[in-house]
Amino acid sequence: MSAMLNEEKNGAPISYMAEVSRATPGNCRLEMCIQCGTCGGSCPSADDMDHTPRQLFAMIRADMRDAVLASNTPWHCVSCYYCTVRCPQEIHITDIMYTLKSMAVAAGQYKKSVDADFSESFVGYVDEYGRSFELGLATRMYLRHSPLSIVKTASMGLGMLTRDRLDFSPQRIKNLDQLQSILKRAGEIEEAIA
Amino acid sequence: MTKYLFYPGCSMQKNARSYLDSLMAIRPELDITFDEVDDWNCCGATEYWSVHQVKAHALVGRNLALAEQQANGSNTLVAGCSACYLNLAKTANYLEEDNLLREKIDDALAVGGLHFTPGSLDIRHLLDIVFNDVGLEKIRSKVVRPLTGLRVAPYYGCMIVRPDRENRYGNPEYPTALDKLLEALGATVIDFPQKTHCCSGHMTQISPEVAYELLHRLISGADRYNADLMVTLCPMCQLNLDAYQGDMNTFMDTDYHMPCLYFTQMMGLAFGHDPKELGIGKEFVDAGPALAKIGVELPEAEERPKPRPRRKKKEEGLPMPRMGDGNE
């Protein structure tokens, strides 16, 4: 952390690695990667990824900004934290994947993908009501991304409804103004560091 | 009577209502009370964290601040959902270790007139409370209908044992608390190799093919050990294993019929509660045949899907040595 701040003070351009590291809350230790590959070997969805986490971290170190943001790797992360607990350097790999997703969205990459839209829609409902809203989220996703499969999916949704496992309307918290003002301020802070 | 602060989370309100109902039903036996955090909001699941980490910390920060205000005689905040537990614990941890983040979240919470003091709350998962605070001795003494003869696969999933920064479960890949709990209830517990593998999380929504593959690993693993049912402690895991099992079967051309219940439901059954009171019957995969083994009869569901007869898979390739199930 201190080395990174010094770099900025001296006016040198901040490296892409430092940028990713700084945008990740907590002490993420990205700089400590020794390229051992334990992360990729532990990942349940590595097969479907363009790059293993190890490769992605090498690309970050090599300042390959566009290629990193275009990679599907972070979007295939299932947040299982296997890599994080197995990493000998104790790097917060899952958190870094979240940072890369945020950066890809901010850069306009993955704008129309299902994954990014799912996250953004989820955020939209939480910002609006304070709670998640599964029926709204699922309906929106299928209408937007796979309207043809809605019949098949509707039966599953119907199953959820008949089993009384799905709310028809969102639950709203009482002090929504308070939450929204907190999130608005946090959003401004987030944009300032991005 | 031990009192805890309680964060139910969005899933427990509806899709995992049976988890909450069964927990409430067994409170008297556990001799604990819960003080629900008033006006709590969503923890951000994985979706909010994926695209707005600072906002997500603020989102959780509000819950922590509200819980701290309400802490009266108890500073232990309990969550039953593994994702909620992880997110609450993560923010509490990071606010302690990252001064820059703390300044940001202090700033955001102050706009809403709130403040959270890092270190003021102890955040724990429900299983941890049941296993360590209530304890097996007490649980054993409350069993009136032992789960004898029922073969269960203890399934922990990811977020309760990983990253587990406080090392509450001993091993992030081979925890045993749920195994021991189910044994105390009288069940035959298989040494489930996939016990901490991923349930595919949000992949059922955004990339079903990936999800089916991961679900198949879990369900076929439990089936290979002749488990009658899987026992879980997380609403996301239950939803994926249960509601998507049919789609998974279609996609993988399999015929699995593996029910998945919450550990609180298993405790309720062993304590002699009525299945309906425990929310049993809301599953997609009927738990009836499995529970009949312990003499529990479920009322006939209106449109309960009939399990298709199991097809024998053709053996292909060279014969491979097979492992015993470790329970003979």
Give, for all 328 residues of chain B, the pLDDT tens digit.
899 999 999 999 999 999 999 999 999 999 999 999 999 999 999 999 999 999 999 999 999 999 999 998 899 999 999 999 999 999 999 999 999 999 999 999 999 999 999 999 999 999 999 999 999 999 999 999 999 999 999 999 999 999 999 899 989 999 999 999 999 999 999 999 999 999 999 999 888 999 999 999 999 999 999 999 999 999 999 999 999 999 999 999 999 999 999 999 999 999 999 999 999 999 999 999 999 999 999 887 655 555 555 555 555 556 555 655 544 4
CB contact under 8 A, A81 and B159: yes
Answer yes or no: do A102 and A118 share one domain.
no
The CB-side HSE value for B13 (13 A sphere, CA atoms) comes to: 19
What is the rounded distance in angstroms from the CA atom of residue B261 to the CA atom of residue B133? 23
Residue A109 at interface with chain B, using a CB cutoff of 8 Å: no
Answer yes or no: do A55 and A119 share one domain.
no
Answer yes or no: do A96 and A138 share one domain.
no
Answer yes or no: do B149 and B114 share one domain.
no
Residue A142 tokens read as 């299928």
Answer yes or no: do B119 and B150 share one domain.
no
Asked, for residue B300, whether it belongs to a domain, the answer is no
Name the region of B146 (left: φ>0; alpha: ψ -120 to 50; beta: rest): beta
How far A25 CA lies from chain B's nearest CA (Å)?
A: 6
- Cβ–Cβ under 8 Å, residues A21 and A31: yes
Answer yes or no: do A136 and A72 share one domain.
no
Overall domain count for chain B: 2
Low-confidence ranges of chain A (pLDDT < 50): 1-6
Of A106, A130, A148, the domain-final residue: A106
Asked, for residue B323, whether it belongs to a domain, the answer is no
Q: Which chain B residues touch A183 with a CB distance below 8 Å? A: 55, 58-59, 108
Domain hosting residue B230, numbered range? 144-292
Answer yes or no: do B169 and B265 share one domain.
yes
Answer yes or no: do B43 and B69 share one domain.
yes
Asked, for residue B84, whether it belongs to a domain, the answer is yes
Answer yes or no: do A124 and A78 share one domain.
no
Asked, for residue B201, whether it belongs to a domain, the answer is yes
**What is the pTM assigned to this prediction?**
0.92
Answer yes or no: do B12 and B117 share one domain.
yes
Answer yes or no: do B38 and B95 share one domain.
yes
How far B95 CA lies from chain A's nearest CA (Å)?
A: 8
Asked, for residue B56, whether it belongs to a domain, the answer is yes
Answer yes or no: do B51 and B182 share one domain.
no
Answer yes or no: do B116 and B169 share one domain.
no
Overall domain count for chain A: 2
Residue B120 tokens read as 């003021």
CB contact under 8 A, B108 and A183: yes
Answer yes or no: do A9 and A49 share one domain.
yes
What CATH number does the domain containing A83 carry?
A: 1.10.1060.10
- Cβ–Cβ under 8 Å, residues A137 and A143: no
What is the rounded distance in angstroms from the CA atom of residue B137 to the CA atom of residue B139? 5
Q: Which chain B residues touch A175 with a CB distance below 8 Å? A: 39
Answer yes or no: do A99 and A119 share one domain.
no
Q: Looking at the partner chain, which of B39, B49, B282 has a beta carbon nearest the beta carbon of A163?
A: B282
- Predicted confidence at residue B305, as pLDDT, reads 53
Helices vs strands, H then E, count in chain A: 12, 0
- Predicted confidence at residue A53, as pLDDT, reads 98
Asked, for residue B134, whether it belongs to a domain, the answer is no
What is the rounded distance in angstroms from the CA atom of residue A179 to the CA atom of residue B30? 34
Q: What is the DSSP string of B125-137?
A: EHHHIIIIII-HH
Answer yes or no: do A135 and A95 share one domain.
no
Answer yes or no: do B151 and B118 share one domain.
no
- Cβ–Cβ under 8 Å, residues B47 and B115: no
ipTM of the complex: 0.92
What CATH number does the domain containing B8 carry?
A: 1.20.1050.140
Answer yes or no: do B112 and B165 share one domain.
no
Q: Which chain A residues touch B282 with a CB distance below 8 Å? A: 163-165
What is the rounded distance in angstroms from the CA atom of residue B227 to the CA atom of residue A77? 29
Give Cβ neighbours of residue B296 (< 8 Å, ≥ 6 apart). B145, B269, B275
Residue B296 at interface with chain A, using a CB cutoff of 8 Å: no
Answer yes or no: do B119 and B149 share one domain.
no
Answer yes or no: do A88 and A122 share one domain.
no
Answer yes or no: do A131 and A185 share one domain.
yes
Interface of B with A in 192-231 (CB under 8 A): 197-198, 200-203, 205-207, 210, 214
Domain hosting residue A92, numbered range? 2-106
What is the rounded distance in angstroms from the CA atom of residue A44 to the CA atom of residue B213? 10
Answer yes or no: do A8 and A102 share one domain.
yes
Q: Which of B117, B48, B50, B122 is nearest to B79 (CA)?
A: B122
What is the rounded distance in angstroms from the CA atom of residue A55 to the CA atom of residue B87? 27
Q: Which chain B residues touch A140 with a CB distance below 8 Å? A: none
Answer yes or no: do B274 and B205 share one domain.
yes
